[in-house]
Amino acid sequence: MKMRLAEIAKALQVQSIDEWDKIIVTSVSFDTRTLKQGALFIPLVGEHDGHDYIQKAIDNGAVATLWQDDHDKAEDNENVVFPKLNVENCLQALQDLAGYYLHKINPKVVAVTGSNGKTTTKDMIAAILKTQFNVQKTHANFNNHIGVPMTILGMEPNTEALVVEMGMDHFGELDKLSRLVEPDVAVITMIGEAHIEFFGTRDKIADAKMEITHGLKEDGILIYNGDEPLLRQRVKTLEQATHSFGSEEGNDIQALNVVGDEHSTSFRVKDWPEYNFVIHILGTYNVGNALAALSVGNHFRIPVEKMVEALSNFDLTQNRTQWVQGDQGERILSDVYNSNPTAAKMVLRAFSRVKTNGKRFVVLGDMLELGDLSNQMHADLASVLDPDKVTEVFLCGEKVAALARSLTDKFSPARVHLYSANDKDELIHTLRESIVTDDIVMLKGSHGIHLEKVLEALRK
């Protein structure tokens, strides 16, 4: 971005002074550790108060800051060298500024949500649209009330298409985000059990996911998983156009001839039988994500040939079913950013089919936000852990104890290891002693368990 501070002040309905017309803001940041020269600092109030870090922001190159009204009154702007824009609420100001900048740049907006696959789908959509447009996409999974406006404000002025990932764990969150970005295209990848602690049932999760349509433009389109009855039922009431994808008959775009191995998956599409699509990622379940991306590309009239090439070469966000090498030569399937029952089962099935001359080790962390169903859903993972295919299981956390108990009928005690979240060093030590060059290891858990520390140790 590149905006004069006076324009930002006007967008936030803050009284400006003449000098501000000469100050150029080239980025927005709420974190002094990553703040760049020329930034507007947003002192968010949360576990830590950003106002305590304003001097650090100045030292690191910020050219202006917001100042929240409920804090000790900032000096009058005319009397301070460093510009402070007084606002009622810094988070709301961040979102308001993002809305202003979005309308100024005016790209086509694709918003993506779903219980699983939204990050991978975002990456695939961005790759397809890049064949024809200047594209900005959500970094990592900056997909919440802070991450979405930061994604918007990170757009270059020549951005033609914006692909925004949207997450949620409570009602109303997608409603607010959708109304902020006003998507031209909304995508729902699937309905699973993620965050069921807060919703209680998959029906309510589906209701919450449908909030992504609340800001959908009148001439916009919803692209959704047509294999999901909960979505088929709800889209009937939508006034905007809809487009379904899936493996079942009756979808607007349907996958055929799906074939997968440890490195890639190939498939064909019913309406384009002459084309063979290949995605270089483990798991045939990712075909649904690819179909969603193809639906978006088709909506924007991207030639099928270009979509084939884009899917074959798309950049996957780090730690999403990514193969890396450990320091003993073992192959590691890293999927440590998040986990829920649906995703964990899909990855475990795929991993169990990977060919190896060595042993298979599975490392699973707690799946969070499952509420009263937590014990049952952790225990249910035993159904996809086959002792003939998996040599040892390493479990990390408190909630996975239910899985450890469920595995006693299938695995001998010596093959199941349970550690608390604070005992990762012991887990790492035991795991490293067991691994040799030909082995393969899978790691998956909710981000709050921080299995990335295990991954880092195995790669040293």
Residue whose token pair is 């012991």: 426
Q: Tell how far CA 221 is from the center of its chain.
A: 21
Q: Where are the beta strands (DSSP E) in 45-184?
A: 64-68, 84-87, 108-113, 135-137, 161-165
DSSP string, 279-315: E-SS-TTHHHHHHHHHHHHHHTT--HHHHHHHHHTPP
> Distance (Å, rounded) from C-alpha 338 to C-alpha 253?
28
Distances in Å between the alpha carbon of 321 and those of 114, 116, 263, 396?
Answer: 17, 12, 10, 19
Q: Tell how far CA 248 is from the center of its chain.
A: 26
Distances in Å between the alpha carbon of 310 and those of 127, 233, 275, 301, 320?
Answer: 5, 32, 13, 14, 18
> Distance (Å, rounded) from C-alpha 207 to C-alpha 161?
27
Task: Summarize the annotated binding site for ATP as residue ranges.
Answer: 114-120
Task: Summarize the annotated binding site as residue ranges.
Answer: 114-120
Hey, what are 182's tokens? 């006003």
The DSSP letter of residue 23 is: P
Q: Are 417 and 433 in contact (CB under 8 A)?
A: no
Return the ∠ at Cα 216 (arms to 309 and 184), rounded to 5°.
35
